[in-house]
């Protein structure tokens, strides 16, 4: 019960109380006014209580207070085992009114037994909560069975496992790995944290390879058979060698490799070598003293060499007086035996045979045209053969002489032989056409042979053989004419030895143009000229070269024209109508250029005259008349490059009857010679001097006409053809 005192003041009643309560309960109470201003109430109901006081004026005041008269209650008690084996007990607290001082009460116990925890509420009521502690565990687990994997020797690692014996082990087994022999401590634990250290020892790890020991060989001395070699094994790692020795049979010297192993599986490769096997027969070297061909006795020597054991006897010898086979036997230290027969072959006591012959041809008349090479042949029946490098050839340079040879064989036996006497004429006879005079080709000619060289001590005079006749068609064939003396010396005549009238035609078939084709060409050219000169005026002067038509490519003249030397560049044409053309100088054109000359006339003109000093003309010429030499006896050679289509003959003067040009009305010997191109010039070395060798176009022909193939790619103006035939077909 709670007693509350209070005092009424002017208008209010104040009630004072102490304590705090949480479960409220409201009770009604009435109090009558006391003039003294004080009074009291008694309360015994637990919970929340409210007092309300009012004065006569109706002014009230109230206060609330709490009553707790019961102890707190024990909740569900729990126990938890802590690391180390102690037990923590937890007691929850509950109170219906003022509430517990702590919601949970905890206490740790290190021993089992009946225990209690006091709980209290906020007004000071307490209660003992009793319980029994049974889970305290301070006993560590025990070390159980220890197992090792592997249990045999190993070169690797060993895993050791200890069994945890106890009712509360954290796990049943604890393991560790050993990388080397030794002892380790493994800690085992139970769930309370009690632990024990268990010692484990391992001694079956061997990680060291065994070592290679000494090598024994059987047999150990030199042998021609096989050798058994064995290698001992020792081990420092503890497991020991699987075999005490490792062996192998050697069939030849050399090295082998064996692998030794210990019981832990460690291995090492060891080399075993054998060098006392010799299955090779000793080598016999045969020597003769002297070792070269000889005509004396010879010592046969058998020398022994052997690898690897060596010879029992290094040299054996015997003296012999004739060629034969000498037998020897040689042995090495392994008793290999070789039969060594020494062939004595170098004894020759017979003289060689000497015979002579001539390497130089001696003709049937007994003459040579050069120094005579004689040789001696040495043959030897004593088998040493004749010496090489002997002077078995010689050159006999003197007329009516011989030579004696000396020969020897390789055993130094000697002999001699002498050649027969030889006759020598080194000088060629002279070939010429002296007294023959001028010849017109083709012709049959007979050369002169003269072999009048004075005989000397070194040279004889054999005299000329009979002289042959030769048919000559071209100047170049003159050099094929020859004379021969009785020693077969040959002399060829020279082109300049024969004076000829001749025109040499190159690059075409040559000869006179077919009259029908020539007429076809003439018709085309005349039509072309008519087209080119229609309504055009000729040059005003006939002594100056002037290209006045066709954009400066055609020089057009009428009447007789006389032109000095000139050179053409490009494609040009000279046209002369109703007249003749005289060339006073050389006419040339440069590379890739071409010149055409067209001369049209009547019966008395249309000719082209070449001055005596002209030696070169390059042009494609068509003339209705003839090509006339200003001087047929001119010593100047004429070289014409291009083509000629004129009214001349070739060889007409030498035909029977003689032939002239078509325009010649009175053909006689003089006129046929004028019209014949073979007589155009009379060039000859004896007259004009040697032709320069630097000019490959020249030969010894008085007149040369060489076809220019440029006309095929670059036809001159006025020479264009229409119809069945081309210009090339007509002029080639």
Nearest CA among 670, 550, 630 for reference residue 598: 550
CA end-to-end distance (rounded Å), the chain: 169
Question: What pLDDT score was predicted for residue 512?
Answer: 60
Q: For the stretch 153-189, what's the b/e string if a residue is b when 16 or more beta carbons lie within 10 angstroms of its beta carbon?
A: bbbeebebbbbbebeebeeeebeeebeeeeeeebebb
The rounded distance, in Å, linking the Cα atoms of 706 and 697 is 9
Report the candidate in 422, 417, 416 with the shortest Cα–Cα distance to residue 402: 422
State how far the Cα of 338 lies from the Cα of 278, in Å rounded to an integer. 13
Burial, 572: exposed, middle or buried (Cβ in 10 Å; 0-12, 13-18, 19+)?
A: buried
Cis peptide before 36 (omega within 30 of 0): no
Q: How far is CA 510 from CA 495, 649, 680, 707, 732, in A?
A: 22, 11, 16, 9, 8
pLDDT at 685: 57
What residue spans of 277-351 are helical by DSSP H?
A: none
Q: Give residue 727's pLDDT.
A: 67
Distances (CA, A) of 240 to 153, 195, 261, 392: 10, 39, 9, 88
> How far is residue 468's CA from residue 481's CA, in Å, rounded to a whole number?
9
Cα angle value 38/43/46 (rounded, 5°): 150
d(CA 678, CA 82): 150
DSSP 8-class letter at 647: S
Give per-residue pLDDT as tens, 495-529: 777 777 778 888 764 556 667 788 888 999 999 99
- Is the peptide bond prior to 290 cis by the omega test (within 30 degrees of 0)? yes
CA 176/CA 411 separation, integer angstroms: 98
Which residue, 494, 432, 435, is CA-closest to 464?
Answer: 432
Distance CA 302, CA 274 (A): 31
Sign of CA dihedral 571, 625, 580, 616: positive
Residues of the chain with pLDDT under 70: 1-45, 47, 49, 53, 453-454, 508-514, 683-700, 723-732
Which tokens belong to 586?
A: 């050389």
One DSSP character per residue, 164-175 reads EESTTBSSSEEE
Q: Which residue from 598, 596, 627 is spatially nearest to 614, judged by alpha carbons?
A: 627
Phi and psi dihedrals of 710, rounded to 5?
A: -60, -25
SS3 content of the chain, % helix, strand, coil (to 5): 5, 45, 50
Q: Which residues contact 350 (CB under 8 A, 6 or more apart)?
A: 380, 381, 382, 413
The token pair at 9 is: 């003041």
- φ, ψ for residue 318 (rounded to 5)? -160, 140
Q: Which residue has the tokens 């022999």?
A: 181
User: Which residues contact residue 471 at a Cβ distance below 8 angstroms, ignoring those fewer than 6 apart?
Assistant: 442, 443, 444
Contact indicator for 405, 393 with CB cutoff of 8 Å = no
pLDDT, residue 14, reads: 38
Reference 314, options 303, 329, 322; nearest CA is 303
């Amino acid at each position: 019960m709670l007693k509350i005192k209070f005092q009424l003041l002017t208008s209010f009643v104040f009630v004072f109380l102490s304590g705090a309560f949480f479960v409220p309960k409201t009770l009604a109470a009435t109090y009558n006014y006391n003039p003294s201003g004080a009074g009291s109430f008694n309360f015994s109901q637990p919970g929340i209580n409210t007092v309300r006081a009012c004065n006569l004026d109706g002014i009230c005041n109230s206060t609330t207070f709490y009553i707790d008269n019961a102890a707190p209650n024990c909740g569900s008690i729990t126990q938890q085992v802590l690391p180390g084996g102690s037990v923590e007990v937890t007691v929850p607290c509950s109170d219906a009114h003022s509430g517990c001082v702590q919601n949970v009460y905890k206490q740790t116990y290190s021993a089992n037994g009946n225990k209690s925890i006091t709980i209290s509420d906020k007004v000071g009521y307490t209660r003992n909560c009793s319980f029994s502690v049974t889970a305290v565990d301070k006993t560590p687990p025990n070390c159980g069975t220890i197992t090792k994997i592997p249990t045999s020797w190993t070169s690797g690692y060993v895993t050791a496992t200890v069994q945890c014996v106890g009712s509360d082990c954290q796990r049943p087994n604890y393991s560790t790995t050993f990388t080397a022999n030794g002892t380790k401590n493994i800690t085992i634990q139970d769930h309370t944290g009690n632990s024990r250290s268990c010692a484990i020892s391992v001694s079956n790890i061997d990680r060291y390879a065994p070592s290679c020991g000494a090598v024994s060989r059987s047999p150990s001395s030199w042998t021609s058979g096989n050798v058994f070699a064995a290698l001992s094994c020792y081990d420092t790692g503890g497991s020991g060698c699987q075999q005490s020795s490792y062996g192998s049979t050697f069939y030849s010297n050399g090295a082998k490799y064996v692998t030794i192993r210990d019981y832990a599986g460690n291995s090492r490769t060891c080399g075993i070598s054998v060098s006392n096997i010799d299955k090779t027969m000793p080598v016999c070297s045969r020597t003769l003293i002297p070792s070269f061909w000889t005509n004396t006795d010879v010592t046969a020597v058998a020398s022994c060499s052997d690898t690897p054991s060596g010879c029992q006897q290094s040299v054996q010898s015997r003296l012999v007086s004739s060629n034969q086979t000498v037998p020897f036997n040689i042995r090495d230290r392994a008793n290999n035996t070789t039969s060594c027969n020494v062939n004595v072959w170098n004894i020759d006591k017979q003289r060689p045979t000497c015979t002579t012959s001539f390497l130089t041809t001696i003709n049937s008349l007994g003459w040579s045209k050069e120094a005579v090479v004689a040789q001696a042949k040495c043959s030897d029946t004593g088998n040493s053969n004749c010496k090489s490098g002997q002077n078995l050839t010689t050159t006999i340079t003197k007329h009516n002489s011989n030579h004696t040879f000396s020969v020897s064989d390789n055993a130094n036996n000697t002999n001699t032989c002498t050649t027969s006497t030889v006759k020598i004429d080194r000088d060629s006879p002279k070939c010429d056409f002296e007294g023959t005079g001028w010849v017109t080709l083709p012709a049959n000619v007979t050369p002169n042979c003269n072999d009048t060289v004075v005989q000397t001590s070194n040279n004889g005079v054999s005299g000329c053989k009979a002289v042959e006749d030769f048919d000559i068609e071209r100047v170049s064939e003159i050099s094929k004419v020859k004379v021969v003396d009785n020693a077969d010396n040959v002399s060829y005549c020279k082109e300049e030895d024969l004076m000829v009238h001749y025109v040499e035609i190159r690059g075409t078939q040559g000869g006179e143009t077919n009259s029908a084709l020539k007429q076809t060409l003439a018709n085309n050219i005349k039509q072309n000229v008519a087209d080119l000169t229609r309504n055009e005026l000729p040059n005003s002067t006939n002594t100056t070269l002037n290209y006045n038509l066709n954009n400066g490519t055609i020089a057009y003249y009428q009447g007789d024209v006389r032109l000095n030397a000139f050179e053409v560049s490009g494609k040009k044409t000279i046209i002369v109508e109703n007249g003749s053309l005289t060339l006073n100088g050389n006419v040339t054109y440069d590379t890739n250029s071409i010149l055409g000359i067209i001369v049209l006339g009547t019966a008395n003109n249309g000719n082209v005259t070449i001055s005596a000093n002209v030696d070169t003309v390059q042009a494609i010429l068509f003339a209705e008349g003839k090509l006339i030499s200003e001087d047929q006896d001119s010593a100047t050679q004429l070289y014409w490059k291009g083509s000629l289509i004129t009214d001349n003959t070739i060889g007409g003067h030498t035909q029977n009857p003689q032939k002239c040009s078509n325009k010649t009305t009175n053909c006689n010997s003089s006129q046929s010679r004028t019209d014949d191109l073979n007589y155009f010039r009379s060039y000859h070395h004896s007259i004009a001097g040697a032709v320069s060798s630097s000019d490959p176009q020249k030969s010894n022909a008085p007149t040369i006409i060489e076809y220019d193939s440029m006309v095929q790619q670059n036809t001159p103006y006025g020479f264009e053809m229409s119809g069945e035939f081309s210009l090339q077909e007509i002029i080639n």
